[in-house]
Amino acid sequence: MNGRIEEIDIAKGICILLMVVGHSGAPKSVIYYIYAFHMPFFFFVSGITTTIDKPFLQFLKGKLNGLVVPFLFYYVIYLLSYSALYHREILEQLQQDFQTHIRMALWFVPILFFAQIINWIIPRERYMVVTSAIILAAISSVLCLEKIDLPWSLSGLGFASAFVLLGRSIGLGGAKYIIDQSSNIIKVVVSIVVAAIVVYYISYRYQKFDLGYDWVEPGMIRMAGALIGITMVLLISCLLERWKMISHFLAYTGINTFVFIGLSQIVLKVVNLYLYDFLLLKYAVVFAVLYTIIYFKNKLPIAKRLRL
């Protein structure tokens, strides 16, 4: 797939679909389970796939084009939609976002941008990368314990940066090593089952792990659970890669994650106005709308230039 690692795209597809489920009124136990690893996965994989061996200005330009520009595009849609749905003034909504949190998955994008800047700054030696990840996670833990809530979800930047750095520390080589283990089906299935049980226990015991709202304590246990969940998803993607129809659909979904991050909750809120009590029909309509948007978006040259 154009030089991409299909198993990682499949894993992204799995996690972005779980994000939609987690935002759509699923049972609390399901939501807690999904939140245990789904957004940490995207920070972690970003660390795996990002090349930092560039001059800073070139690196910054790439992140501005790849993250900030599409973020601003979807954020404008979000502002207009929420203002219309909730009869709020746009400036009032904008002020509320800056003072607290963006109410959508879009919070993830500016945090990833700043985490990647931190990623570039950290020295290249692996021990420095891992040490920095631990220190940054500890900073977010302290902010949480002291109930210091920074605007735009910046309280969780330490944990987000930690996941990016840990992803960088294993690199593509480490990800490919995990993927290569999929040749032993029994070993993979047992690993998935054990990981699923561990993640379930952590999510049941400590409930929601939400970097967007700085619900992160106890930090190190949550981080360990997220890393186990990330490994689980990568192993599941390796199994699914054998079924081409499923794997192509999930990889296609994974490549188009920005649409889900930017628009899924808006679509959900509109659909909920009419189909709130019809769960299966609601999901069918939501996904039909999102994949239709993706189809037409991919036909537009400007969408490719703006990396939407």
Rounded-to-integer distance, Cα 87 and Cα 195, Å: 45
**Dihedral of the alpha carbons of 67, 69, 72, 73, in degrees to the nearest 10:** -110
**Over its length of 308 residues, how does the chain's per-residue pLDDT go in tens digits?**
455 788 899 999 999 999 998 887 778 999 999 999 999 999 999 999 988 888 999 999 999 999 999 999 999 998 888 888 877 788 877 777 776 677 678 889 999 999 999 999 998 888 899 999 999 999 988 888 877 777 777 888 999 999 999 999 988 777 777 777 777 888 889 999 999 999 999 999 998 888 877 778 888 899 999 999 999 999 999 999 889 999 999 999 999 999 999 999 899 988 988 888 888 898 899 999 999 999 999 998 888 887 88
CB 159 within 8 A of CB 114: no
Rounded-to-integer distance, Cα 67 and Cα 267, Å: 22
Give me the pLDDT at residue 1, please.
Answer: 42
H helices within the chain, ranges in order? 6-22, 28-35, 38-49, 56-63, 69-86, 90-99, 108-121, 126-145, 157-180, 185-206, 219-240, 244-255, 257-275, 279-297, 301-305
Domain spans of the chain, in order of start: 6-305
Give me the pLDDT at residue 103, please.
Answer: 65
Rounded-to-integer distance, Cα 113 and Cα 160, Å: 10
Tens digits of residue pLDDT in 138-187:
998 888 887 777 777 788 899 999 999 999 998 877 777 777 777 788 88
Geometric angle at alpha carbon 159, from 70 and 233, rounded to 5°: 75
Rounded-to-integer distance, Cα 179 and Cα 234, Å: 7
Give me the pLDDT at residue 84, please.
Answer: 83
Give me the pLDDT at residue 3, please.
Answer: 57
Rounded-to-integer distance, Cα 278 and Cα 231, Å: 34
Rounded-to-integer distance, Cα 111 and Cα 114, Å: 5
Preceding omega of 110 cis (within 30 degrees of 0): no
Cα–Cα nearest to 209, from 183, 227, 192, 193: 227
DSSP 235-294: HHHHHHTTSHHHHHHHHHHHHTHHHHHHHHHHHHHHHHHHHTT-HHHHHHHHHHHHHHHH
Rounded-to-integer distance, Cα 261 and Cα 258, Å: 5
Residue at 237: amino acid letter: S
What sign does the CA torsion over 291, 234, 52, 164 have?
Answer: positive
Residue at 290: amino acid letter: L
